[in-house]
């Protein structure tokens, strides 16, 4: 006979049986302990409100307040004993509070549920991460602005399709990322404003019959107002999705900049030199200096996208109000926040430390017939030629230069006249890369004066 007891699905680590499996799948203390500070802050606000409303005595409220401070001290000091049997951070804190102050601890949960409690804790935590993301983005923007200011008149190739297109300035390229990050910053600012309603007091789903003051707790916790519908309050995770959505778009920008730094630091480009602090060597090739920080940022972005997709899938089919599925909201968000903050900090460090190689940038700026558009524009301005005709004439001159293995400025005036007889020597005034970038003075253009204007604008905005 086969011993079926050894063939149970919970064999191995779950040898204790179904109870161990249920505890393992149900408990969240392994990750939601990260919200301990927010949980205690919310409980202190709730206890103060209960006392003011006459629901609990001032004496009990004071005992709860002091007891919660003791619990927080233990957590911060690393002496708190977490128990998986108590499921989550809320029950762990409450159980320890009861050990410290006794019966008054049981009054803390009056007028609330774990449903509104966890929603409040999680909102407070996500709001903190939004503030951290905004600060991290601003620090990176300032690093990019410093690079732009230092190289406002450095010329470099601008690319489309990763092919040389037109000369631009180093400062202009740096400021492009400032604009991207500014949109990221605005998304977090908008999301923070939208999320700033307090779920506390919504209780399990229907509110409470106790005469609580939700406006008082909302104000104490820095919310603009209490949420207006108790069903929505406990079932809403839009704030986490907003955070993950903004983080995902920010991650795109960080990944694009990472990609450029990987390319630019290669031996084939030599546009930038990354500092040793953000590079590594090879175990076998002594000449190598690898842009590992940029590559890791580029890879970590997938974790953020994954978290956004995972939480979207968790939430997409849930009926109102709370479902246990929503316990899966935190690990993904925690990991995405960690990845974003690390990526922002690493990118700020790389940008601050990197050195733009001005000579290599300028040498590359003149390759690939990069001033062809300037030639076409000159034909339009000087000869009143329709742009389509100018485009055709320029294309013919590019083909001539390419067949001779030279660039456009190397053609003689006679060469150019052989394509169009009315071209004059004045054309050579627009063919140099410095002349090209200096001429792009339209608002938002690459001219050094425009770059410096944008640098000044952003330095004023960021303070």
The stretch 345-356 carries a mean pLDDT of 94
Calculate the CA 358 to chain-centre distance: 30
pLDDT at 188 over 90: yes
Residue 81: name the closest of 36, 19, 22 by CA.
36
How far apart (Å, rounded) are the C-alpha atoms in residues 257 and 264? 10
pLDDT at 13: 53
pLDDT at 4: 46
Model pLDDT for residues 253-269, shown as the tens digit of each residue: 999 999 999 999 998 99
The stretch 407-425 carries a mean pLDDT of 88
Calculate the CA 411 to chain-centre distance: 48
The stretch 236-257 carries a mean pLDDT of 97
pLDDT at 3 over 60: no
Q: Which residue numbers are catalytic?
A: 161, 282
Q: What is the mean pLDDT of the chain?
A: 90
pLDDT at 29 over 90: no
Burial class of 436 by CB neighbour count within 10 A (0 to 12, 13 to 18, 19+): buried
Global pTM? Answer: 0.88
Question: For the stretch 301-329, what's the b/e string if a residue is b when 16 or more beta carbons lie within 10 angstroms of its beta carbon?
Answer: bebbbbbbebbeebbeeeeebbeeebbeb
How far apart (Å, rounded) are the C-alpha atoms in residues 266 and 288? 10
Say whether 405 sits in a helix, a strand or coil. Answer: coil
Model pLDDT for residues 274-310, shown as the tens digit of each residue: 887 876 555 454 454 688 889 999 998 899 999 999 9
- pLDDT greater at residue 184 or residue 369: 184
């Amino acid at each position: 006979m086969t011993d079926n007891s050894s063939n149970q699905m919970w064999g191995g680590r779950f040898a204790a049986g179904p109870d161990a499996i249920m505890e393992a799948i149900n408990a969240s203390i392994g990750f939601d302990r990260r919200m301990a500070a927010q949980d205690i802050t919310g409980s202190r606000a709730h206890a103060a409100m209960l006392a003011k409303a006459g629901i609990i005595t001032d004496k009990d409220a004071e005992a709860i307040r002091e007891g919660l401070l003791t619990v927080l001290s233990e957590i911060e000091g690393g002496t708190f004993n977490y128990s998986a049997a108590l499921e989550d951070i809320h029950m762990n804190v409450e159980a320890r509070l009861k050990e410290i102050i006794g019966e008054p601890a049981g009054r803390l949960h009056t007028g609330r549920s774990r449903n509104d409690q966890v929603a409040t804790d999680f909102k407070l935590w996500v709001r903190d991460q939004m503030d951290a993301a905004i600060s991290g983005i601003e620090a990176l923007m300032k690093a990019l602005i410093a690079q732009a200011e230092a190289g406002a008149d450095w010329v470099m190739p601008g690319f489309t399709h990763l092919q040389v297109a037109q000369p631009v300035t180093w400062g202009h390229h740096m400021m492009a990322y400032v604009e991207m990050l500014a949109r990221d910053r605005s998304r977090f600012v908008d999301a923070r404003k939208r999320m700033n309603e307090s779920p506390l007091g919504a209780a399990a789903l229907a509110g409470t019959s106790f005469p609580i003051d939700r406006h008082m707790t909302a104000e104490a916790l820095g919310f603009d107002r209490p949420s207006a519908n108790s069903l929505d309050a406990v079932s809403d995770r839009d704030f986490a999705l907003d955070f993950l959505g903004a983080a995902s778009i920010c991650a795109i920008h960080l990944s694009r900049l990472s990609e450029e730094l990987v390319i630019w630091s290669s031996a084939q480009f030599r546009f930038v030199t990354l500092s040793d602090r953000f590079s590594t060597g090879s175990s076998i090739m002594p000449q190598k200096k690898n842009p590992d920080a940029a590559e890791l940022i580029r890879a970590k972005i997938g974790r953020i996208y994954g978290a956004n997709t995972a939480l979207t899938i968790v939430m997409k089919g849930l009926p109102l109000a709370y479902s246990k599925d929503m316990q899966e909201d935190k690990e993904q968000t925690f990991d995405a926040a960690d990845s974003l903050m690390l990526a922002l900090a690493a990118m700020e460090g790389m940008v601050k430390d990197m050195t733009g190689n001005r000579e290599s940038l300028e040498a590359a700026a003149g390759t690939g017939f990069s001033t062809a558009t300037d030639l076409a524009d000159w034909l339009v301005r000087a000869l009143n030629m329709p742009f389509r005709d100018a485009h055709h004439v320029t294309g013919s001159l590019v083909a001539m230069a390419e067949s001779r293995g030279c660039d456009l400025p190397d053609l003689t005036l006679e060469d150019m006249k052989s394509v169009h007889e009315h071209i004059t020597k004045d054309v050579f005034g627009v063919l140099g890369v410095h002349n090209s970038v200096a001429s792009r003075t339209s608002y938002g253009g690459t001219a050094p004066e425009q770059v410096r204007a944008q640098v000044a604008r952003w330095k004023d905005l960021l303070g």
